[in-house]
Structure formats: structure tokens, C-alpha cells
Structure 1
Amino acid sequence: MKTLNTTYRNISIAIMGILLISTASSCKKFLDTQKQGVYRTDDYPYPGNSGPYDLYIYSAYNFLRDYNVHADGFVVATSIRSDDAEKGSTPSDGGADVISMDNFPVSSSSSRANSLWVAYYGLINRANTVMDKINNDPKIEATDQQKTAAAAEARFIRGYAYFMLVRLYGRVPLVDRLLSVEESNVPQSSPEQVYAFIEQDLQFAASNLPPSWPSAFVGRITSGAANGILAKVYLTQKKWAAAMQSANLVMTSGQYDLSTPYDKIFREDGENSKESVFEIQATASAEEKEKNGCQYTSIQGLRGQGNFNMGWGWNMPSAALEAAYEPNDPRKARTILYSSTTTTTNMSIYGEPLPIYPTILPNPKYNNKVYTSPSYRSKVSSNMGYWMNVRILRYADVVLMYAEAANEVGGADNISKAVAALNTVRKRARGTASGVLPDVVTTDQAVARTAIRQERRIELAMEHDRFFDIVRWGISGEAMAAAGKTAFSPSRDNLLPIPLVQIDLSKNVLTQNFGY
């Protein structure tokens, strides 16, 4: 593939300059940056608990915040495509490229399908650069322990990128090293081969990453993150016993719990809490409003004027999601933000009266989980939320994966464990509210399965799991039809098209998915 040529091998000083970090104990996120050009690649110092490969590892971490990795295309492909969300904004905003992701079918010429492909292979390339430095650069002095630790981080990032690719596209090329131009036209591997590769990467990462990092490196990948993503990889393949075991390793690690109130998880002061298993770090300041952050939040922010001009207004919660909540579930208000009407003044989670929007946006709904604090907006002198972290894997997700896997393994004891785990999530969700979200009481596997699936939908609403869940459960067709997305065809639309531009660049070595 043309996107994987060796120009990536020589990382420019200009690019690397933005990755230099401050490790002072007061740092909140380890990707806080200094000015460009302070160090060269040959004299970069190794602060406490960092190492000789960190310059290259940070390149991969930095790219996790890229516009095409965890912002535009990510939101469109994982959430707007699902039954829980609509595109939002004005009817024509985003054009045919985004509208087709919402209403189907997606064109093989879709720029977002191609951008996602290129971005995730770019992330893989950065991980492979770390591996290349470990294996082939004699100028870098490192102990075996440092090499193993660096490889664990790189292989986690590579495994995660391939997990995204295989769920989005199915058959994709496997590239486990930096390639020359002559080698770069790689044919697709089967999903089974890709999943086996992902498992190997994540198993290595889980075995060699620490359970936690010093405070200067908050947000850096841990063994818990590796086991948590590995549990999801197993769950996707219906490897129930393995998924149950991996999730249990996270749950018994002592690093995470459900103590963070649901309302707080998604606030700025809820970042990197005991709920956080894998969270993309972002930061902003009055001096640097965007460069060190992620556009994830502003894409979904309120589309308005003045103080309430917070973004594009994309990823609107659907009527189907709205109707799925149990009566008085507190999570609904924390997930769905309603603008004011001519008769009702609605308030933000910070007590701000929300405006009435024009008739072209009649009573729009927004993803309330990305609503930003007015104090942060004031401090950064921006409404666009580039400082907000992206929650990729939460502890509640791990608990619900454990519940699902235990229930599918079956047997009275495992079904009991599944229901007990499910109820811990419901207990946290109801908080101090009485008479809502009662414990699920059942010994029936089918009843428990329905309850666990419902809980995943509500607990993780608007957090980018729903589409992948309904696909792996085999219910995507009925779920999308129930949400009014009647042009959706599971045999075609469970996967995105292989981007036509990539097929052309490969001279037809790459082949198209069914139905496109």
C-alpha cells in the first residue's frame, strides 16, 4: 500500500518537536507539551520512569488524538452509523459523505472510509517504528527490560489499531514491520488471521505493561487496558471463557472500581478516574487552544451562537435511544442534552440556561457526555473543548463484558456471577435515587442476556460501542430497521467498503467487500 512507504521511517525533527513532554509532578497528562525544537532526537533526555524509545512511543500516543483517528471519521463510523444516533446538525451539513454513513449505503469512494483506513495504518506505522528502533537501531542503548516495556506499549497500540480496522473493514492487510516501497503492496488477510495477530499483540502487552504509572505519566497504557481491550477482542469472536478471564483480570487488579459517580465520569474533573481503563489524553491552554488536543468534542458540541457556539452539532442521540431508557434512569439526563423551547427553558449540567435554536434545528438533542465546563471554556478562552479526553474503555464496560461472557459460558454459578456483575453497574447508575433501576433477579440465561445487552446500550450510550455490539450480536438488521434506518443491509453494511482509492493504489491486489 502506498500509505505505508518508507518515508515514515525518518521522523522529522519538526514533527517530533511537538511530542516533547514535561514530567513535573504537577502535570495532569503526560502528553502536555513544550515548545518545538527544544531537543534533537539524538540528545533527548530520559526523565524519571521514561526511556530511550519514548520519543517514538510518544509519536504513536500523539497520533491517537489525530482528527482521523479519534475525531471526525471515528464518531461518524462508530456512532452515527448506529441505531443510537443520527447525524444531527442541519440536513445537508457534512454532505453526501456523512449522510451516507447515517442512512446507507456508504460509497466505496467515501472520503471518510478512506481517511479512517489511512489513519489507522498511520497509527500502525508509528507502532512499527518503535519496534524497528528496538530491533534494528544499535545507536539506542537500552536494557532488555526497557526494550520489552517499549515493545509492550507499541504492540498494544498496534493491536488496538488492528481491532478497529478489522471491525470496520473485515479483511485488511497485516503489516507487522516497516516496509520498503517494493514490499508495501500487501494483500488482505482474513478476519480470523487478523484477530489472531491482535490477540498476540495484546497478550504480550498485558504480560509486560505495568498495572499503573507514576503521576507524571497519567494516561499511559497499562496491563489493565491491554486485558480490557483483549476481553473485547475475545467477546467479539464469542470466545466467552477467554473474555471472562481477561475481564476478571481487570476487575481483580485493584486498580479500578465503580466509585466515580456516573455524572462525574464525563466531566473534566472525572478524567483518569478509577473508572478510566483506556483514555485518550488531550490538553489545551489559552496559548495553545487546539494543537495538543483532540477535536472529538467540538464535532459533537452544541451548534449555536455566542457562548453556545460549541461545535458542529453532530452525533445526535436518536429517538430509538431516547425511548430505550427505563423510567427515571438518571443516565438519560447525563447522556441526552435538550435545547430549550419556546415553552421550556432547559439547563445544562452546570446550571446554564440553554438557548432556543432556529427552526432549521427544531428542538435538537446533543451528546451530553461531551458537554464542557464553563470554567474550562473561560480558562482556555475557547468553547470548542479540545482539552477533553476521549474515553475508549471504561471500567463499567469491562464489568458488563464479564457479565456477558459469564452468562454465555453458562451454568447456574456463572449466570449468577453475570447477574451480580450487572447489578453493580445498575447500583452505581441509580445512585441515591429510590425506586429506579431495581436489581435484575433471574436465573434464566436468555433473560439475563437480554438484560445485559440492554444495560450495555444504556450505560455506554453515545460511547462508540453500540454499532459493533449489534453486529456481533447478529441483530444489526432488526435494530437499524427499528430505528428507521431502513436502507441498512447487514450483509453489506456491517462492514465499510474497502476504499476505492486504496484498491486503485494496490493495482487491485486489494479486493472489495460484499455488496459494494
Structure 2
Amino acid sequence: MKLLNKITRNCALMLALTGGLAMSSCQKDFLDRQAQGSYDQNNYPYPGGSGPYDEFLNGAYASLRSYDVTVMPFVAAVSIRSDDADKGSTPADGPDALQMDNLNVLPSNGMTNALWLGHFDLIGKANYVIDRIENDPNPLTPAPLKVEAEAQARFLRAYSYFMMVRLFGRVPLIDKITTGSASESNIPQSGPAQLYPFIEADLQFAAANLPASYDAKFIGKITSGAANGLLTKVLLTQKKYAAAMSTASAVMSSGQYSLSVPYNTIFNEEGENSKESILEVQATADAANPTNNGSQHAQVQGVRGTGAWDLGWGFNVPSTSLEAAYEPNDPRKTRTILYSGGTTIFGEAVPAGLPNPRYNQKVYTNPVKRASVGNRGGWWMNVRLLRYADVVLMYAEAATEVGGAANITSALNALNTVRARARGGNAAILPNVVTADQETLRQAIRRERRVEMGMEYDRFFDLVRWGIAAQQLQAQGKNFVVGKHELLPIPQAQIDLSKGTLTQNPGY
């Protein structure tokens, strides 16, 4: 079974975003990890950075690419749980992923434990960067370098905590180095009322102290636009609509991003780090290192077949519900869903009779690149975590909820710019939305988010924050229980390590 074998055996060498240095991180077991936060100069990843904090920042950045943070556990929790996707692969493969799909996740589920460990690992690394800055023994380190490094670390910490509060609801709030793991540190759980102000403060600091862009050699480093974009999502999740309008406007008026990139191009290798990209996890591979410097994000979702069509594990496949959500002739459907027996975006004939009728075409790799690397797994594919169209649609949503004629007009304009890009100059499809009714516009924006961002990891969280998760998921045969299935269970392994300090979520 591909998933079970590769979870326990794969090793991923992860390339630092800013320094080009790599380390080995073999994944033998979910519990066989460095204790979160217990890093020092001798065991921290990526020694030898060029700046005073680069070696530590690079290690924190690398965690974004880790298996636990943006690969299979992430894909299962944020996509397979939704109505956009089904588990895929083969019926016997991936029982933990099947639990996610069926919303019967047990506290013993290995993926929930991986998510917990991976995100607290990132939090620990970010806290170590901040500690190094605060206790820098060199009095000559320029203050601007300190502030910028702290801003990057605080963004990474905020990103991790935002994921954790949406996944688990209540988690230990750790803002300094600990001597053991998060679960063993006797720190009780904090809930959303404590976590969200902490996340907001970190992102506000990052937005105020990061540059709008970097030199090309530092591609992928976090910018003020990324901080404001993620902050918009944090605020929208809390229904702070006026504030979300403001932060989204800051991104839209920055001049750094645009909808000029054709939808067909965004997800290709040549579309990486384009004007559409706000937060993108960097990965790379070449013939010398076909798997060692990248991410398995594309591989776990790649077409599952035989011979030349054995491109991946075949998980996270588009659902019939997503397939039916597109308007007639919407080009985004073709770019998102790859059909068994159909044709790829590169003109290849896909064999019929594959294990699944549909696959995620947004992670499909260029055959020319596969040949040049000598690998079919797509380890070189970047992970898109935040796109400009997402921010534009969040602005439209926030403006709609604030209401008033002027805001409704602004929301319509934002929504229709996304539709205009999607139609690609074809006036016969995707006409502009025209309405003055708030509820009609609200529903139009929700539909647009789904098809614009199909298979891009926001659908489950969107359904929960809109309060319609039960309605939508039950309609797809998922037994969603209100008050339980909005969250995952706290991993039993972590409750055990905490000796009862951590308590379980309701219903589990």
C-alpha cells in the first residue's frame, strides 16, 4: 500500500528557501521527532547561513515543505474532508485518509498526530529564531535585520497557529522556547479567544515590518503582502469584515500582484512565483537530486496508474459535487479536473480504466520536466498557499457583509474581475454578475470561491466559517455532526504525553 509504506519509509531532503542549503529529515515514525522547541546552535537545521539569523530562518521555512505540514496529512484534513474531494487511491489504501473522508476520525489517527507535530515543530523553530534575536550577543547586529527576521518568524508562527486553531480549536499557546514537546510542557490548551488575538498581533507585526518584495535571488521569502493576505483570512474567519476589507485593500493596492496571469498558467511549473502568487512554498528537483530537495505534495495527488502513468499515489481526487459546481464551459473546470480517458493540459491522452475517474490536474506535472529530472513524482512543484484571486474574493466577501450600496458595488467589481480573467476573453461564457441584492451577491461569491479555488485547500474551512458545513457535507453523504466535526480530535498520543493536561474535543 503506497501511503502506509511511504509514510514510514520516505526521506525528504528539504531545500531552504533563502539559502539554498539542504538537510536530511527521514520520517521513520510520527513520534520519532525532535522535541518541539528544543533547538540549539548544535542541532538547529541549516547551519552556515549568510546572515545573522539565516541558518535559523531557513530551518523554519523548510518546515513549510515538510510532509506533516503541507503534504498528505494537510491534503487529507483540508481537502479530502470537504465536498470538493474524495479520498481516491484504491479502497484499501490509506485508512487514516478514509477516516478523514468519512468524517469518522479517531483520536488515534496518525494524520492528526502528524499535523500536531509538524505545526508545533514549525512553531518551535519560529520561537527559536525570535529567541536568538532577543538574545543576540552581537551588539553590532543592525536593528533592521533583527526586525525583519523577527517579522518572518512571527509570520510563520502565525500561519501555524492559524492552521492549528482551525484544525483542533484548542491548543497550547507557546511563545517561547520550551524544554520538551508542546504536549509534555504542562501548558494547557488555549481556545480561539486567546489564539486569534495572538495570531493577529504576529501578522500585524509582520505586515508592518516586511518589505513588499525581495530581490529575485530571495524568491519565496515572506512579504508584507503575504502577511496582509493571511491576516485578511484570519479576520474573515472571525467575521471582522470591515478590518478584512482594509487588509485585503492593502494587498490589492500594493502594485505587487494582479490577475494578469492566465488561469491555465498559474499552476504550471512556469506559473510559479507569478504575479498571482502571494504565499508559495518553494520546492526544487533536478536530475542530480530528483527527490531530495522538494516536496511530496504533488506526488501524493498524482495520477495513479501503471508504467508511464504511475505518477503518484492518487489521493485527493475531485468529487462529483465539485464537477457539477462549474457553469457551462468554464475553463477552470478543465484546468482543475483531469479525467481518466481524457487529455492532459499538455495534450497527452490519459488511459481509461485508471483506479479513479478523476484526478487533481492542478498538481499535474509537465512531461518535459519529468523527463529532464528523471522522476515522475513532481517533487519540484511549489505549493500554492495563498493566491491573489483568493484575496480579491475575500475582499468581495467582506465588502458584501459590511453592506451598503457603495460596498456592494465594490464587491461586484472585485468578483467580476476574477470572472473576467477566468473567461479569457470569451464573451459567451461567465457573464458578469449583476445584482444589488446582498444575499444574491453573497451566494455568487461563495460559488465563485469554490470554482476559482477548487482543490486548493480552503473549501472545508469556508464551509465551517459560513455555518453551512452540515448542510453541504450531509448532502454528499458525509455524517457531519454539528459541534463535533468542525474540528479534528486532539491526538490521543499527545493527550497521553501531557499526562492529562490536554483534554479531548467534544464528541470524540
2:493 maps to what in 1? 501
2:364 aligns with 371
2:477 is equivalent to residue 484 of structure 1? yes
Q: Is the 1:33–1:292 contact (alpha carbons within 8 Å) kept by the matching residues of 2?
A: no
Q: Does the Cα contact within 8 Å between 2:19 and 2:54 map onto a contact in 1?
A: no
Provide closer, same or farther for how the CA distance between residues 429 and 81 of structure 1 changes in structure 2, counting only shifts above 3 A.
Answer: same
Contact kept in structure 1, 2:14 and 2:294, CA below 8 Å: no
CA contact (8 A) 2:22 2:293 kept: no
CA distance 1:399–1:333, change in 2 (3 Å): same
Matched, 1:463 2:462: no
User: 2:3 — aligned with what?
Assistant: none
Question: Which residue does the alignment assign to 1:202?
Answer: 203
Amino acid at match of 1:456: R
Query: CA separation in 2, counterparts of 1:44 and 1:447?
Result: 56
How far 1:32 moved relative to its partner? 3.6
Cα 1:281/1:18, change in 2 over 3 Å: closer
Against the structure 1 CA distance between its residues 82 and 135, is the aligned structure 2 distance closer, same or farther, given a 3 Å change threshold? same
* Matching residue's letter, 1:454: R
Residue aligning to 2:254: 253
Deviant stretches of 4+, over 4 Å? 40-43
1:458 and 1:490 mapped to 2: Cα distance? 25
Q: Distance in 2 between the 1:320 and 1:181 partners?
A: 44
- In the aligned structure 2, how far is the partner of 1:79 from the partner of 1:35? 29
CA pair 200-43 structure 1, distance change in 2 beyond 3 A: closer
Match among 39, 44, 50 for residue 48 of structure 2:
44
* Inter-partner Cα distance in structure 2 for 1:351 and 1:251: 35
Rounded Cα–Cα distance in structure 2 between residues aligned with 1:453 and 1:224: 23
**SS of aligned partner of 1:260:** coil
Taking a change above 3 Å as real, the CA distance of residues 98 and 140 of structure 1, as seen in their structure-2 partners, is farther
CA spacing shift, 1:117–1:140, aligned 2, 3 Å: farther
Q: Is residue 168 from structure 1 mapped to residue 167 from structure 2 by the alignment?
A: yes
The sequence identity of aligned pairs, in percent, is 57
What SS does the corresponding residue of 1:337 show, helix, strand or coil? strand
Does the C-alpha gap of structure 1 residues 127 and 89 become closer, same or farther in structure 2, counting only changes over 3 Å? same
Q: Does 1:63 align with 2:63?
A: yes
Residues 329, 85 of structure 1: CA spacing in aligned structure 2 closer, same or farther, 3 A cutoff? same
Q: Distance in 1 between matches of 2:115 and 2:386?
A: 20
Specify whether residues 491 and 364 from structure 1 end up closer, same or farther in structure 2 by C-alpha distance, changes over 3 A only.
Answer: same
1:414, distance to aligned residue in structure 2 (A): 0.3
Give the alignment's TM-score, normalised by structure 2.
0.91
- Relative distance call for 1:192 and 1:136 in structure 2 (3 A) is same
Q: Deviations over 1:432-451 (max 9, x none)?
A: 22311000001110000000
Query: Does 2:345 correspond to 1:349?
Result: yes
* Distance apart, 1:138 and its partner CA: 1.0
Could you say what secondary structure the match of 2:439 adopts?
Answer: helix
What is the Cα deviation at residue 181 of structure 1? Answer: 4.3
The answer to whether the 8 Å contact 2:248/2:395 transfers is yes
C-alpha deviation, 1:491, in angstroms: 1.5
Match of 1:8 in 2: none
1:289 Cα deviation after fit: 1.4
Corresponding letter in the other structure for 1:515: G
In structure 2, how many angstroms separate the alpha carbons of the residues matched to 1:439 and 1:292? 43
Per-residue deviation, residues 139-160 of structure 1 (Å, max 9, x unmatched): 5851111110100000000000
- Preserved contact between residue 52 and residue 141 of structure 1 (Cα < 8 Å): no
Does the aligned pair in 2 maintain the 1:78–1:467 contact within 8 Å? Answer: yes
> Structure 1 residues 53, 271: CA separation in 2 closer, same or farther (over 3 Å shift)?
same
Amino acid at match of 2:367: P
Give the aligned CA root-mean-square deviation in angstroms: 2.0
Structure 1 alignment gaps of length 5 or more: 1-14, 22-28, 341-345
Give the Cα separation in 1 of the matches to 2:20 and 2:49: 16
> Residues of 2 paired with 1:178 and 1:355: CA distance?
52
Aligned partners of 1:156 and 1:201 also within 8 Å: yes
8 A contact 1:241–1:409 mirrored in 2? yes
- Whether the 8 Å contact between 1:32 and 1:292 is mirrored in structure 2 is no
Distance 2:409 2:180 in 1: 55
Structure 2 residue aligned with 1:11: none
1:347 shift after superposition: 1.3
Render the CA deviation track for 1:134-185: whole Å, top value 9, x for unaligned.
0124158511111101000000000000000000000111000101349822
The 8 Å contact of residues 319 and 483 in structure 1, kept in 2 or not, is answered as no
Map residues 385-464 of structure 1 onto 2, 5 A cutoff: 385-464=378-457
Partner Cα distance (1:237, 1:399) in 2 = 18
Q: Give the deviation of 1:306 after TM superposition.
A: 1.6
What TM-score, normalized to structure 1?
Answer: 0.89
**Structure-2 separation of matches of 1:72 and 1:292:** 17
2:400 partner letter:
N
Ranges in structure 2 where 5+ consecutive residues have no aligned partner: 1-10, 25-41
Instruction: Write out aligned runs for 1:167-316 (5 A).
Output: 167-181=166-180, 184-316=185-317
In 1, Cα distance between equivalents of 2:450 and 2:14? 38
How many residues matched?
Answer: 477
Conserved? CA contact 1:278–1:393, under 8 Å: yes
Secondary structure at the counterpart of residue 385 of structure 1 = coil
Cα distance in 2 for residues equivalent to 1:244 and 1:413:
13
Q: Distance in 2 between matches of 1:92 and 1:58?
A: 38
SS of match in other structure, 1:61: helix
Checking the alignment, whether the CA contact within 8 Å between 2:85 and 2:319 is kept in structure 1 is: yes
* Deviation for aligned residue 1:45: 5.9
Q: What is the aligned partner in structure 1 of residue 78 from structure 2?
A: 78
CA contact (8 A) 1:31 1:281 kept: no
Residue in structure 2 matched with residue 511 of structure 1 by the alignment: 503
Looking at structure 1, the residues matched to 158 and 164 of structure 2 have their Cα atoms a distance apart, in angstroms, of: 10
Counterpart of 2:280, as a letter, is E
CA spacing shift, 1:248–1:285, aligned 2, 3 Å: same
Change over 3 Å in CA distance of 1:35–1:329 after alignment to 2: closer
